[in-house]
């Protein structure tokens, strides 16, 4: 997605440890017009499927998924929670995901009542690095016996192995921008 690539080049900042900061437009301050274009593109890419639910993970995925959902046919967004709270009642699907940016392992959870075997699920997230967040979400979809339609990622870091792991599982993965390398402080798209 050209618009997204241009914005990454203009406003993205590279940090130590293969981290790309896009907090001025994607996951802290959010450019809603851009998120709207991102949502439109996810809809275009997955228009061959009838999707009943979008699943994401807190925190950064929520805004992206919520705006994307408006381009689909009146479907809810469910987000996996990383912190067990007293408000999270009833039975839960749980899995684990190691945070790429924080290095800690989260228990992630979704209430069973929000994901059922009748659902056709699109997973959406902001970044794909080593695939841990997606694998946790995929595990939860599989536990629920819902149909996993595929995964939509805004920025895939193609030089890390997450994309390969997911695609090797035969799961449809659509990334709107794939970064091939960030050598010498230079972002190169695939």
Q: What residues make contact with ligand 5GP under the rule CB under 6 A? A: 19-21, 27, 60, 100-101, 125-133, 162
- Whichever of 119 and 126 has its CB closer to ligand 5GP, that residue is 126
**How near is the Cβ of 124 to ligand 5GP at its closest, in Å?**
10
The sheet that has 120-128: what strands, in order across it? 77-80, 53-57, 120-128, 147-157, 173-181, 188-189
C-alpha span between 121 and 137 (Å, rounded): 11
- Whichever of 91 and 164 has its CB closer to ligand 5GP, that residue is 164
- Whichever of 71 and 130 has its CB closer to ligand 5GP, that residue is 130
- Whichever of 17 and 90 has its CB closer to ligand 5GP, that residue is 17
**How near is the Cβ of 64 to ligand 5GP at its closest, in Å?**
10
CA distances from 177 to 13, 69, 155, 160, 189 (A): 15, 20, 5, 14, 7
Q: What ranges make up the beta strands (E) of 69-187?
A: 77-80, 92-98, 105-111, 120-128, 147-157, 173-181
Cross-strand pairs, 72: none
- Whichever of 60 and 175 has its CB closer to ligand 5GP, that residue is 60
Are residues 157 and 164 in contact, defined by beta-carbon separation less than 8 angstroms?
Answer: no
**How near is the Cβ of 125 to ligand 5GP at its closest, in Å?**
5
Tokens for 188? 């190169």
Query: Helix, strand or coil for residue 147?
Result: strand
**How near is the Cβ of 165 to ligand 5GP at its closest, in Å?**
9
**How near is the Cβ of 18 to ligand 5GP at its closest, in Å?**
6
DSSP state of 104: P
């Amino acid at each position: 997605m050209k618009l997204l690539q241009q914005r990454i080049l203009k406003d993205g900042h590279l940090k130590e440890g293969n981290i790309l900061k896009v907090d001025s437009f994607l996951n802290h301050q959010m450019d809603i017009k851009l998120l709207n274009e991102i949502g439109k593109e996810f809809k275009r890419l997955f228009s061959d499927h009838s999707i009943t639910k979008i699943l994401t993970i807190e925190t950064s995925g929520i805004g992206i998924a919520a705006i994307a959902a408006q381009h689909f046919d009146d479907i809810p967004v469910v987000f996996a929670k990383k912190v067990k709270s007293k408000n999270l009642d009833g039975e839960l699907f749980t899995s684990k995901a190691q945070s790429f940016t924080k290095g800690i392992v989260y228990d992630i959870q979704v209430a069973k009542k929000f994901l059922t075997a009748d659902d056709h699920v699109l997973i959406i997230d902001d970044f794909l690095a080593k695939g841990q967040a997606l694998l946790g979400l995929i595990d939860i979809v599989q536990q629920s016996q819902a149909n996993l339609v595929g995964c939509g990622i805004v920025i895939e870091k193609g030089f890390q192995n997450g994309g390969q792991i997911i695609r090797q599982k035969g799961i449809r993965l659509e990334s709107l921008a794939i970064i091939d390398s960030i050598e010498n402080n230079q972002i190169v798209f695939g």
